[in-house]
Every structure is written in structure tokens, then in C-alpha cells.
Amino acid sequence: MATGESCCYCVKLLVLLITFLHRSSFLHAHSNTSLLAPQRETIEIGVGTGSGTDIGIGGGGGGEGSAPPLSTCGCEPQPSDFLNLKQYYAYIVIQLFKKTITCDPNNVTQTWVGYRPCTYQGFYCEAPPDSPDTPTIASIDFNGFHLCAPTIAGFIDKLPDLALFHANSNNFTGTIPDLTGLQYFYELDVSNNNMSGPFPNDVLPLANLTFLDLRFNLFAGAVPPSIFSLDLDVLFLNNNFFNQSLPFNLGSTQVAYLTLANNGFTGPIPRSISNAGSTLREVLFLNNRLSGCLPYEIGLLSEATVFDAGFNQITGPIPLSFGCLQKVEQLNLAGNLLYGNVPDVVCRLAKTGQLANLSLSGNYFTSIGYSCWELIKSGVLDVRQNCIPGFPDQRRPDECWWFFTHPRHYFCPFFHYIPCKCPVAPATPATTKAMQRPAVASPPYMAYKALHQRHGK
């Protein structure tokens, strides 16, 4: 390099250094104005072999004009921002789920901000048994939120300490994810949503599950027999599209409240139902396509307060074993193909037991027992649209004639044996006792409540 060129080069470097020191002094003098929002500028220096030297301040090139705005440092949440690691991981899961929500009419997700997920609307924290000093998301209650999301997979199954998920009346689709990794999980309610597909078999391995509510969805096909082997207290499957036979082991269930109503179940009521006699309190087979004979074993449901098999295609006489249903309050067999005599021993349950409503309308009964007369007068017994001679509001004679001359599909045996000792009727007349328990079409029992969607769905 020539001596003149070397000198020129040194001068350029000196100018560059002076400019840099001047700029640094300026930034230092104004640093107190940017404490709340840390900012950064870049200095780009280019020294060429030609006659020009490029000096750019602020990230641009060329050094001409005003510098672009200073950029803000976007920092991701760190574990130290949260009360514990469990809440940090829950925060990440919740924020990912939040991004999938397509509608939120109540603006619930606006509360899902900040580093305290236990304060988010719908989320509740407790300390799990294996970490008593580490509170985290233990339950979720989205009932009535009307949130829309394509799936809950990747959400509830990623919260390892979750015990309850209640999401009645939302617009979730997809199906139930694999929850076997949730060691404390025991209540699942996804009723009144738009979930579809076959029965969600991923719930079957959940050993601690006690409450399962799938009603008012679009599930279809068969119900697996193993669901009746779970130690559940409540099983609500009503208002779906299940359309196969009821599993033969239905009586293995330990549930107290069973609703299978408003589906398309076919075939007979399994005779194994008697095995649930000590636990089953309310059972609804209402409005399916069940057929076959009315099982004698139903009379062995000693704890049942509600038995509803109305509006099916069940045939045969009422077994005398029904006289053993001492705790039954609501007995609905309306809208079937039942025939014969309404047993006196059943009507006596209004005196000797708790019977408040006996619905037998829309069948083909031809006579009633002596004790049934008083129940008709008091409104406890409804036998309209049958074939009882001389009674008002009965079927037309040609309808009855057709039924009794048409070959029936089943031969239903009639057992005269009563598998219990029927108590002696108290002195209180049936009409007086019935007045103390007014007959109602839709009583406030737990199983009947399951037939109604949440208001506003």
C-alpha cells in the first residue's frame, strides 16, 4: 500500500472511531429514559478498499436518514415466574389450548392470562397427594361456557394431576383422548357437546373413574361390555346414537344411576340385571327399540326407586315378581306391546311400598287387578289406550283384534311364583297415600334430570 493511501486509510479509521465514541456518549446520556423497555441498536461498520466508508447506525445500511424504531425484547415466561413447576407446565398447556378455541361468547378466555393459572376462570387448584406442598390444576369446570374447539386432546390429557373435567354445554368436537396417564382422574362430564365416533374406549382403563356423563352427543354404534365392569356410581349415555344390543353383562354394573334413554338400543333387557339389585336405584331404558319379554329378574331390583322402559317394543305380561319392588316410586312401561292382566300385587305397591306413578298406557292389557281400581281413581295408574273392556280412552276394537290375532314374535312365560314375601297392606287407603305423593310426568329424580339439556345449549 502506498504511503498516501496508508495515510488516507488511517484518517478514515480515526473518523470512524470518533463517530463511534460520540454515539456511545449520546446513548449513555439518554439511557435513563428506557429503563422499563430495554432497547437495542446495532452499529454496522463497513470499510471498503475504495474511496468510501459506510457507517450505519440502527440496523439499516447506508447511514442516511433517521434510524428505525428500537425493537422491544419479547421474553417468554420462565419457570421462576410461577409458584411451582407444575403450574408453569399447566400454563403452557392452557395457552396452547386457548389458541385452538374458535368461539368464546362469554369471554372466558380473557381471564386466562398471567402467571397464576389457578386464578383463571374454570380452573381450580389443589395439591396432589404425592406433592402436598405443590398446588396445581386439579379440576376444570367449563359447564355452560359454550366454548368451541375442535378437540380436547392435547389439553386435559396433558394435565397430569387433573381429577375432574366437567364441560356440560360447550361445542367441543372429536372424542375423548387417552386419559390413562392421569392417576387421580375420577369424574368426566362432556355432556351437551358435539363429540362423535364410536364409544370412547379410552375411558375403559380408568381404574378410578366413578362418574361418566356422555349424554347429548353424537356417539354411535355399540356400547362395550367392559363399561359395565367399571366401579362407577353414575353412567349417563342417553341421547346419543347407540344402536346395538345391550351387553349381556349389564347386571355387572355397580352404578346407582343408569340412563340409556333416547338411543337406538335393540334386543331384550339382559336378564343379568338382577345382579345389580343391591346398587341400582334409577334406570332409564326409555325410548329405544328394545324388544323381547319383560324380564322376571327386574323384580329383584330391591333398591330401585325408578324403573322406566317406556316406548320400546317389549312384550309379554308383567311378571308377578314386580310386586317385590317395594322401593319403586316411578314405574313406567307405557308405549310397549305388553298384554294380559295388570297384576293386583303390583298395584298394591301403592299401599305396601312407595309407588306413586304407574304408567301402563299404550299397551294391550285386557284387565286389571282389584287394587288397581283405586289407583286409577287417584291418578296413580294410567291405563289409557289399552284393550280393557268398558274403560274410557281405550284402543279401537280393530286394533285390539289385530294384535291378538297376529302371531307374536315371542312366547313369554308367566311365572306365578313371587320371589319375596309381600307385606300386609297398612290401614291407610291407597287413595290417601297416593295423594301424599302426587303423580308427576317428569319427577325430579337424578336419572330423569339427565334427559334435559342445560338451558341455553
Specify the higher pLDDT residue, 289 or 34: 289
* Helix (H) / strand (E) containing 166: strand 164-166
DSSP sequence for 160-214: TT--EEE--S-EE-S-----TT-TT--EEE--SS--EES--GGGTT-TT--EEE-
| pLDDT of res. 425 | 54
User: In the structure, what pLDDT confidence band is assigned to residue 222 with cuts at 50, 70 and 90?
Assistant: very high
Give the helix ranges, DSSP H, for 30-133: 85-98
The partner residues of 289 in beta bridges, in order of sequence, read 266
User: In the structure, what pLDDT confidence band is assigned to residue 413 with cuts at 50, 70 and 90?
Assistant: confident
| pLDDT of res. 204 | 94
| Interval 355-379: pLDDT, tens | 999 999 999 999 999 999 999 999 9
pLDDT at 25 over 50: no
User: In the structure, what pLDDT confidence band is assigned to residue 36 with cuts at 50, 70 and 90?
Assistant: very low
The whole-number average pLDDT for the span 191-218 is 96
CA distances from 435 to 64, 196, 357, 428, 439 (A): 97, 45, 11, 11, 8
**0.85 exceeded by the pTM?**
no
97 secondary structure, DSSP code: H
For the domain bounded by 95-221, which CATH number is listed? 3.80.10.10
| pLDDT of res. 424 | 59
Average pLDDT of the chain, as a whole number: 84
Pairing assessment for the beta strands 357-359 and 381-382 based on DSSP bridges: parallel
CA distances from 361 to 307, 338, 382, 451 (A): 15, 10, 6, 21
User: How many CB atoms are closer than 10 A to CB 97?
Assistant: 21
Specify the higher pLDDT residue, 94 or 421: 94
The whole-number average pLDDT for the span 80-93 is 97
Specify the higher pLDDT residue, 452 or 54: 452
Residue with cell 504511503: 3
| Residue boundaries of the structural domains of the chain | 95-221, 253-451
| pLDDT of res. 69 | 37
| pLDDT of res. 1 | 47
Asked whether 278 and 303 are in contact (CB, 8 A), the reply is yes
| Interval 380-402: pLDDT, tens | 999 999 999 999 999 999 999 99
User: In the structure, what pLDDT confidence band is assigned to residue 457 with cuts at 50, 70 and 90?
Assistant: very low
| pLDDT of res. 10 | 44
For 268, the grid coordinates are 331384550
pLDDT at 440 over 50: no
| pLDDT of res. 417 | 83
Report domain 253-451's class: alpha beta
CA distances from 199 to 206, 227, 265 (A): 15, 10, 14
pLDDT at 31 over 50: no
Residue with cell 380452573: 123
User: In the structure, what pLDDT confidence band is assigned to residue 27 with cuts at 50, 70 and 90?
Assistant: very low
Specify the higher pLDDT residue, 82 or 412: 82
**What percent of the chain clears pLDDT 70, i.e. is strictly above it?**
78
Half-sphere exposure of 171 (CA within 13 A, CB side): 12
| pLDDT of res. 283 | 98
| pLDDT of res. 411 | 79
Mean pLDDT is lowest, of 7-21, 119-133, 221-235, 297-311, for: 7-21
Cα three-residue angle 259-262-265, rounded to 5 degrees = 85
Confirm whether 95-221 and 253-451 share one CATH topology: yes
The whole-number average pLDDT for the span 244-262 is 97
Rg (CA), the chain: 37
Torsion angle, alpha carbons of 163, 166, 170, 175, to 10: 50
| Interval 117-133: pLDDT, tens | 999 999 999 999 999 99
pLDDT at 435 over 50: no
| Interval 37-66: pLDDT, tens | 333 333 333 333 333 434 333 333 333 333
The whole-number average pLDDT for the span 22-31 is 42
pLDDT at 108 over 70: yes
